[in-house]
Amino acid sequence: MRTADGDLIHEETGLVVEEDQIDRGPEWRAFNHTERQKKSRVGAPTTQTMHDKGLTTTIDWKDKDAYGRSISSEKRSQMHRLRKWQERIRTKDAGERNLQFALSEIDRMASAMGVPHSVREVASVIYRRALDEDLIRGRSIEGVATSALYAACRQEGIPRSLEEISDVSRVERKEIGRTYRYVSQELALGIKPVDPKKYVPRFSSELELPEHVQSKANEIIETTAEQGLLSGKSPTGFAAAAIYAASLLCNEKKTQREVAGVAQVTEVTIRNRYQEQIEAMGVHN
DNA sequence: AAGTAGAGGGATTTGAGCAC
DNA sequence: GTGCTCAAATCCCTCTACTT
């Protein structure tokens, strides 16, 4: 095998067997200076599948020289040290690269969702903790990164639903939920179920509902949640129903379809929830 | 808009099988 | 008997599709 430099490499040992003696200086090459500048780089073809793009030298594990002869014990121990360091650098690089990738994914998703910088910081911390606790083994980096972001949003009090986060992630909703539960449990994040009231301002502003409708929706949520109506129900559906009910009560009516759209639940869910809520409010008043 | 049936999915409970 | 794992059963919620 020959490198781009023309050096002959021993197939098994990977050691250089024969150096290309010819100086291919620039002045007599076929392409001139400007052509040379056009080429961003020269040399061996690179591959994206390896972190070093396949350019680094590999020291193999045989104690033979380029000619296949055994080498002295002094050389052997020197080779051993070199290999050890190469392995250390290689694995360290791989870990760093994965972390870099995860953090850039978190950043990308956070930007796409428009969440503040503090959430990204928290997500990064959660991801690093998951890495330290060895929770990523057997799971995808993207999955853990996405669930770290999901957890961070909830922890910072600006929750995003699994639907919303799976829209910007390459990982599907089910996987995010599963990984999130696992990470949250293992790291003892102690995140409480999302308060539906947290969704009210965002959904309301998307629906362009005035302040007093929001307060009414919050009131409905508080009263009905006290009566145990929230238990086991999805917070987004609950919030959507309360907003719908509030819009009716305040004569600022939005259709179930509109509310369902911004909350990413179905109209059926809104119907079921809001009737329970209205009933409970009736009993309450 | 409202209602209904049925499908599908997640979480929890129950029960069988196994090792100690 | 106790503790554990794993699969099946069950419950509840949300969804789609359809009708009124």
What DSSP string describes A79-141? HHHHHHHHHHHHHHHHHHHHHHHHHHHHHHHHHHHT--HHHHHHHHHHHHHHHHTT--TTS-H
Positions of chain C reached by protein Cβ under 7 A? 12-17
Question: Shortest CA–C1' contact from A256: which nucleotide?
Answer: B1
In 3D space, the residue among A174, A148, A150 whose CA is nearest the CA of residue A161 turns out to be: A150
pLDDT in tens, A39-86: 444 444 554 434 444 455 555 556 666 666 676 667 777 777 776 766
Q: Among all protein residues, pick the one whose CA is nearest to the C1' atom of C14.
A: A269
> Using 50, 70 and 90 to split pLDDT, how confident is the model at A238?
confident
| pLDDT on residue A57 | 57
- The separation, in Å, between residue A12 CA and nucleotide B11 C1' comes to 55
| Residues A171, A211: Cα–Cα separation, whole Å | 36
Joined together, the tokens standing for residue A193 give: 């179920």
In sequence order, the β-bridge partners of residue A9 are: A16
- The separation, in Å, between residue A226 CA and nucleotide B2 C1' comes to 27
SS (H, E, C) A107-120: HHHHHHHCCCHHHH
Phi and psi angles of residue A17, each rounded to the nearest 5 degrees, phi first: -95, -40
pLDDT in tens, A125-181: 888 888 877 777 667 788 888 888 888 888 888 888 777 787 788 777 777 777 787
Give every CB contact of residue A215 below 8 A, 6+ residues apart in sequence: none
- The separation, in Å, between residue A237 CA and nucleotide C19 C1' comes to 24
Is A58:A13 a contact under the CB 8 Å cutoff?
A: no
For chain A, which residues make up each domain, given as ranges?
Answer: 8-60, 92-186, 196-284
- The separation, in Å, between residue A193 CA and nucleotide C3 C1' comes to 32
Joined together, the tokens standing for residue A262 give: 């911004």
Q: Among all protein residues, pick the one whose CA is nearest to the C1' atom of B4.
A: A268
Q: Tell me what the pLDDT averaged over chain A comes to.
A: 71
| pLDDT on residue A159 | 80
| pLDDT on residue A28 | 28
Q: By three-state DSSP, how is residue A70 classified? A: strand
Tell me the average pLDDT across A260-269: 81
CATH fold group of domain A196-284: Cyclin A; domain 1 (1.10.472)
CB distance under 7 Å to strand C: residues:
A 231-234, 237-238, 264-269, 272-273
- The separation, in Å, between residue A127 CA and nucleotide B8 C1' comes to 32
Is A139:A145 a contact under the CB 8 Å cutoff?
A: no
Residues A92-186, CATH architecture = Orthogonal Bundle (1.10)
